Every structure is written in structure tokens, then in C-alpha cells.
Amino acid sequence: MTLWPSFHGVVYAGNLSLLVNGKSLHMNPPRSIEYNEKNWGAGIQYDFESYDRKWVPFMSVSGFIDSFENPSYYTGAGIVRRVHFGHTKDSKHVDAGLIGFLMTRKDYKDGNPFIGMLPALSFGSRRFAVNMTYIPKIDPKMVALWFFQLKISTF
């Protein structure tokens, strides 16, 4: 049994989506700091479709206003395991996997690009989905948070 998916089959045209960034939920924030939880911004995500419809590789790029009202940008690629709730291409699904990324933030690493990896979760359909990720506390000045995006298919 292998833990990593095999991609020796055909990969064909996938799905291009608009990402609308909009919300974060900070976990147990200190009372002395007021975080911006309206993280407006936009980006794109391209989901490749593999022949078996189970493992979906993807790429994304996005920009948003971060928790301290500063612009933040990332580009990344990942893979999710898709579970369908129906037998059509447009049926509801849940995705769970990982995204690796390159990011810039004014308040982290002096604004220099840094790499990272986070869980990637999504639920919805081919047309509309909600992407989310959990960002753990990685610096004493930060708090853990959930970050949400709306994913809208372009066709």
C-alpha cells in the first residue's frame, strides 16, 4: 500500500477558479490586540483533474489584506484527496490535503519571502466551494487562526 498517489495516468484540462479572500477567525486573541478579520483580496486557483478523480493537484496565487491591515501575497501548489457525494462532475465534494507556498508578509520575516506548508480543506461543488486552512501559532507575537476563501469556477 502506498501513501502517495500515483500519477502515471493521464492528467487532462482542469478547472480555473476565482478566489475571493474574505475572512479569518483568530483563536484566543489577546485582549490588547485587535486583529483585522476581514481579509479582502483576490486570486486564482487552477485545479488539475487526474484520471481517477480522487487526487486533485492544484496551483494558486492570491493577495489579501492581513490581520494587521497590510497587503500579503502568496503563490503555491498542493494536492488534495477529493471525496464525492454523487456520481456527476458537478456533485458536492470535500477536499483535504496540503499546500506548499511562497509568501510575503510585512509583519513576518521582515517582509522577505518565506516558504511554508499548511493543510488545505475545501467543500462545495465544481462551481462554488469554500476553501479553508488552519494556520498555527508559529511566532510568539501571532495567534492561531482559520482562513477562508470563496472559490468560484470561471465556467
| pLDDT of 10 | 46
Residue 28 in grid coordinates:
484566543
Q: What is the pTM of this model?
A: 0.85
Q: In sequence order, which residues have a C-beta less than 8 Å from that of residue 21 and are 6 or more positions away?
A: 39, 40, 41, 42, 43, 62, 63, 64, 147, 148, 149
Give me the count of residues in the chain.
155
| pLDDT of 107 | 80
| pLDDT of 87 | 81
Confirm if 61 and 46 have CB atoms less than 8 A apart: no
Sketch the domain layout of the chain as residue ranges.
13-153
Give per-10-residue mean pLDDT for the chain (155 aa). 52 82 94 92 92 88 95 97 84 95 90 95 95 90 92 86
| pLDDT of 153 | 92
Hey, what CATH topology would domain 13-153 get? Porin (2.40.160)
CB-CB neighbours of 54 under 10 Å: 12
* 8-state DSSP, 132: E
| pLDDT of 74 | 97
pLDDT in tens, 73-99: 999 999 999 998 988 777 899 999 999
Q: In sequence order, which residues have a C-beta less than 8 Å from that of residue 132 and are 6 or more positions away?
A: 121, 122, 146, 147, 148, 149
The SS3 assignment for 109 reads helix
